[in-house]
Amino acid sequence: MSTNRLVDGVNVASHYRDATHQYDSNKEGIWLFMTTEILMFGGLFVGYIIFHTLYPEMFAEGATYLNWKLGFINTLVLIFSSLTMALGIYYCQVNQRNKATLALAVTILCGAIFMVIKYFEYTHKFHLGIFPGEKLNLEMVKPEHANLGLYFGFYYCMSGLHGLHVLIGMGLITWVMIKNIKGEFNSKYFTPVEGVGIFWHIIDLIWIFLFPLLYLVG
């Protein structure tokens, strides 16, 4: 059914007229998927905004437990990784395979740095007895507001889901990096790199809002 054939050096599935037709369709599919990611994450933002408005002092107290400097560094790390991801796509487009591989590798490395910093943030909090929701250790933390657990419920869910996506993104970038090393991409065909790149940029996009939301505005 999906018998491919070569059109101008690109593998095109039989139900597409040519490489451009296939590319345009693939891109549209990718964007539709990204829209669902926005809607899914967005639900968390909606919840956060509502409860921040209802409990402003409690949220302010919660934010004092967050280290904005680490958040700041992580923001720079992700922005840098977004740049290298874009470069990775660029180098595929201009047939510079090795530079593309390097750019993708650096992107993965940035993701790893992000996760390591996140790991330190989380373990530090665990050490203080800060767990989400009802699991917040009230004796250890002695919060001013009894429902401080609600704040940390949001904190862990939002940063956790985001972190999970970082890990998934790292896996996907590894996948396209390996395909690139094997020579599967060139200036005429680089759609998977682009798709993974857009996914990675969404992760960056979400963090651009998460950083002020959690670390600064609390």
Partner 1 sequence: MAQKQSHSEGHHVTPLAIYYKIGLALFLLTFLTVGAHSIREHIQPFAALVAFSIAGVKAYLVMAWFMHLKYDKPSNRLIFSLGFIFLAVLIGFCALDIVSRVAQNSIL
Partner 2 sequence: MGQHSSGKNYINEEPGLLSWFGTLDHKRIALLYFVTVMFFFLIGGIMALLLRLELFAPNVTQNVGQILKNGDVYNQVLTYHGAMMVFMVIIPGIPAILGNFFLPLQLGAKDVAFPRLNLLSWYVFMTGAALAICTFFSTKVDTGWTFYTPYSIRTNGAVVMMVLAAFIMGMSSILTGLNFIVTVHKLRAPGMTMFRIPLFVWAIYSTAILQVLATPVLAITLLLLAMERVFGIGIFDPKLGGDPVLFQHFFWFYSHPAVYIMILPAMGVISEIITTHAKKTIFGYTAIAFSSIGIALVSFFVWGHHMFVSGQSELAGIVFSFITMLVGVPTAIKMFNWLATLYKGSIQFTAPMLYALGFLFLFAIGGVTGIILAVTAVDVHFHDTYFVVAHFHYVMVGGTLMAIMGGFFHWFPKMFGKVYNELGAQLSWVFIFVGFNVTFFPQFILGAKGMPRRYFDYIPEYEQLNKISTIGSWLITIGFLIGLYTMIQALRKGAKAADNPWGSKTLEWQTSSPPIMHNFDHEPTVTAGPYEYK
Establish if 53 lies at the interface with partner 2 (CB under 8 A): no
User: Nearest distance from residue 104's CB to partner 2, in Å?
Assistant: 24
Question: 90-149: which residues touch partner 2 (CB under 8 A)?
Answer: 131-135, 147, 149
Q: 21 with 191: CB under 8 angstroms?
A: no
Tokens 């400097």 belong to which residue? 69
* Shorter beta-carbon distance to partner 2: residue 29 or 79: 29
What phi and psi values does residue 142 have, to the nearest 5 degrees? 50, 60
Q: 81 with 202: CB under 8 angstroms?
A: no
To which H or E segment does residue 16 belong?
Answer: none
* Shorter beta-carbon distance to partner 1: residue 34 or 109: 34
* Shorter beta-carbon distance to partner 1: residue 97 or 188: 188
* Shorter beta-carbon distance to partner 1: residue 160 or 212: 212
**Of 76, 83, 74, 89, the residue nearest 119 (C-alpha):** 74
> Which of 19, 41, 199, 203: binder of partner 2 (CB under 8 A)?
41
The tokens of 48 are what? 């956060």
User: Nearest distance from residue 96's CB to partner 1, in Å?
Assistant: 10
